[in-house]
Amino acid sequence: MNMKAMTAIAAFLALPIAAVAGPDDDNLVINDELDMISVTDAPEHVENFDKIYSGWHFRTDETQALQIDDFDNPAMIFVDQASDLFETVDGAAGESCASCHDGVESFQGLQASMPKVDSESGKLVVMEDLINKCRTDRMEAEPWKWSGGDMQAMVALLGLQSRGMPMNVSIDGPAAPYWEQGKEMYYTRYGQLELSCANCHEDNWGNMIRADHLSQGMINGFPTYRLKQAKLISRHNRFRGCIRDTRAETFAEGSDEFRALELYVASRGNGLSVETPAVRQ
């Protein structure tokens, strides 16, 4: 609320905005019943934060309101579509997700531990990989496009099953090399603007950059319904956009680089509730 009042006053006086720095202190409760952990102590492996905050705390009251009631959350239309897709037979094997999986509720807890290393292949996998593996190997259907509507709706539906549970991705054991790779990327100053993720989301969170209130760059709410784009936005699409905006040659959605970055960024939010599907500006 502070922020809005300040904006109004600043606009009225025709002064540049002297914005209120930092996150607000509202409580995130969904549907009046699900208390979310949107602020908590930073995990030990996050060196430069005392507290970690959900991106929800950096948005306007209007945007925040859209996430606290599922009837207002525009992402839920896509989640409903994914519920239908879950039951829909596709591919040569004549199967749907529901043919093998005992209800979508059976995915409870999975999102909180993603990304993770696949024990068979030893490779780091994210939710999109699991979905496409089922589609191609079991359903004998075409894989979905990474940031396509069907894919991100399904990622959101599966993620929603863990909503409220604290993020808890593994960073050691077989995940360690991927985590290190992601960490190195996080601190690399890419592009002609020479900006790292950390320059904005660690060194300057809470500050305004032009009209944007910089958050800590947490991904516990992804896929996120972004008002600007009016659709569900994948984690890798957001990474891609951020790196592009440093005037850099970005990485591809679904690249191993972005899988590693996803693991590292997800681990920075260990302890925050899964908010999927969140709503952002």
Partner 1 sequence: MKLKLLTLACLLTGSAAFAAETGPKDVSYDDYGAIEESLTGVAGDAESGAIIVGEKSKGNCVACHEVTALADIPFHGEVGPMLDGAGDRWTEAELRGLVANAKMTFEGTVMPAFYKDDGYIRPGDAYTGKAPSAPLTSILTAQEIEDVVAFLATLKEE
Mind telling me the catalytic residues?
242
**Which one of residues 199, 227, 254, 255 is an interface residue with partner 1 (CB under 8 A)?**
199
We find the least distance from the C-beta atom of residue 6 to partner 1, in angstroms, to be 12
User: Is 193 one of the binding residues for partner 1 (CB under 8 A)?
Assistant: yes
Give ∠ CA 16-215-178 in degrees, rounded to 5. 145
Closest CA to 114 of 275, 272, 259: 259
Residues 144-183: x where in contact with partner 1 by CB under 8 A, - otherwise, as a string = ----------------------------------------
- Name all contacts of 32-36 with Cβ < 8 Å and 24+ positions apart: 32/69, 34/163, 34/164, 35/164, 36/164, 36/273, 36/275
Among the listed residues 32, 44, 122, 209, the single contact to partner 1 using CB under 8 A: 209
Q: Which two tokens stand for residue 99?
A: 């043919």
Cis preceding linkage at 277, omega within 30: yes
Q: Is 57 or 240 the residue whose CB approaches partner 1 more closely?
A: 240
Residues 212-271 that bind partner 1 (CB under 8 A): 214, 240, 243-250
- Which residue's CB is nearer to partner 1, number 18 or number 176? 18
Contact 115, 272 (CB under 8 A): no
The candidate with the shortest Cα–Cα distance to 231, out of 56, 74, 65, is 74
Site string for partner 1, 7-36 (x = CB under 8 A): ----x--xxxxxx-x---------------
Question: Applying CB under 8 A, which residues contact partner 1?
Answer: 11, 14-19, 21, 188-195, 199-200, 203-204, 207-211, 214, 240, 243-250
